[in-house]
């Protein structure tokens, strides 16, 4: 079974995925990194040259490849839940964990990032986050097996809480 971390940018998916994979002795796969490898260019370049729909198509191809593997910790991009097939494939062999944080925390964590171009045009940074979250929250809720709040918690504590939850539900045995 794979452990799949979903959630908006800045909620801690990448950090938690690396720590969790290390503790469990599992490989970690970043869907975004796999898209970059597949395309041979960085995400902003993919978006600028081909648009968001092309990026999502590449992401779906990566999901299809990765979801058939077992024993992974998957760091899923924030928009992976936009396509039902992605969610279905990831849930087939995975336990989906939705990492959340309040908007103020997300803004603080991602305000200096340059790896993602805007998702919405003609909006401020904060307006974009609010609009996108409003669209995605129901999708995250529908996709997730469990939810973990990451604000104000050191990443290691998030991992410990997640491991406790996974162990209680019989999904992992700690090393």
pTM over 0.75: yes
Contacts (Cβ under 8 Å, ≥6 apart) of 131: 120, 123
Q: What is the pLDDT of residue 130?
A: 86
Q: What is the pLDDT of residue 131?
A: 87
Q: From CA 147, how far away is CA 96, in angstroms rounded?
A: 9
SS3 breakdown of the chain: % helix, strand, coil, rounded to 5? 55, 15, 30
pLDDT by residue, tens only, the chain of 175 residues: 999 999 998 888 999 999 999 999 999 999 999 999 999 999 999 999 999 999 999 999 999 999 989 999 999 988 999 999 999 999 998 999 999 988 888 888 776 654 555 455 566 777 888 888 899 999 999 999 999 999 888 999 999 999 998 888 777 655 5
Q: From CA 56, how far away is CA 159, in angstroms rounded?
A: 28
Beta strands in the chain (DSSP E): 2-6, 28-30, 73-75, 94-100, 146-149
Q: From CA 75, how far away is CA 28, in angstroms rounded?
A: 7
Residue 146, helix vs strand vs coil: strand
* CATH no. of 2-168: 3.40.50.300
Q: What is the pLDDT of residue 73?
A: 96
Phi-psi region of 4 (alpha: psi -120 to 50; beta: other; left: phi over 0): beta
- Token pair listed for 49: 């040259």
Contacts (Cβ under 8 Å, ≥6 apart) of 19: 155, 156, 159
> Residue ranges of the domains in the chain?
2-168
């Amino acid at each position: 079974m794979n452990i799949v971390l979903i959630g908006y940018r800045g909620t801690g998916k990448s950090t938690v995925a690396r720590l969790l994979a290390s503790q469990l002795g599992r490989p970690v796969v970043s869907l975004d990194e796999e898209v970059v490898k597949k395309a041979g260019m960085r995400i902003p370049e993919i978006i600028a040259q081909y648009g968001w729909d092309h990026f999502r198509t590449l992401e779906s191809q990566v999901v299809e490849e990765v979801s058939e593997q077992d024993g992974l910790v998957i760091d899923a991009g924030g928009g992976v839940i936009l396509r039902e097939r992605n969610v279905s494939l990831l849930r087939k062999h995975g336990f989906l964990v939705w990492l959340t944080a309040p908007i103020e925390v997300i803004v603080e964590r991602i305000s200096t990032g340059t790896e993602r171009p805007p998702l919405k045009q003609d909006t401020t940074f904060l307006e974009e986050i609010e609009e996108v979250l409003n669209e995605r929250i129901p999708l995250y809720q529908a996709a997730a097996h469990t939810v973990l709040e990451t604000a104000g918690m050191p990443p290691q504590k998030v991992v410990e809480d997640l491991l406790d939850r996974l162990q209680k539900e019989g999904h992992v045995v700690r090393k």
